[in-house]
Structure 1
């Protein structure tokens, strides 16, 4: 506040105060950001975290693909694509991708 008061007559007090607040907030934010781990630093420290998440997503996709294959087997020929479009909430290409993963997984 003393520095802001010394600027009296050279600049508006509110401008000096706004500059001081901005300066302190940026300094505080930089200190906080430096103390926090980023996603990249966590992955470099524990690489299994990224791989585990990928395998979990892959396993979920395979399970969904197996369910889609079972539904496709129950439906008459030509009814699966409209079923996917209307009832599954997936695009047909994504459904094909999941089914391919399930077939490859065995």
Structure 2
């Protein structure tokens, strides 16, 4: 459920979209998706990433979190490094 103060975003630019393969993802695919998601998240205003995830075909919140966690190695401080 999205917060009531979240303003809907316009359609993402082509650079903000990615085809997520269906079925099982290999570790290298999850790493690539995780790095991409961290960059997208860094550009979005606070509170917009969750609703944006819901608009992406083939991507759910749990998969997004799993990929981002893998990309950061589970380290919170690595998110800023990878988003740059």
**TM-score, with normalisation over the residues of structure 1?**
0.44
CA–CA distance in 1 between the matches of 2:41 and 2:30? 16
* 1:59 matched to 2:32: no
Tell me which of 86, 90, 95 is aligned to 2:55.
Answer: 86
Q: Decide which structure has greater helix share.
A: 1
In structure 2, the residue matched to 1:30 is none
CA–CA distance in 2 between the matches of 1:88 and 1:75? 18
Tell me: higher relative CO, structure 1 or 2? Use CA pairs within 8 A at least 6 residues apart: 2
TM superposition shift of 1:88: 4.5
In structure 2, the residue matched to 1:100 is 69
Flag the structure with larger Rg: 1
User: What is the aligned-residue RMSD (CA, Å)?
Assistant: 2.0
TM superposition shift of 1:89: 3.1
CA–CA distance in 2 between the matches of 1:99 and 1:66? 7
**How many corresponding residue pairs?**
51
- What 5-or-longer segments of structure 1 have no aligned partner? 1-55
**TM-score, with normalisation over the residues of structure 2?**
0.55
Secondary structure (helix, strand or coil) at the match of 2:56 reads helix
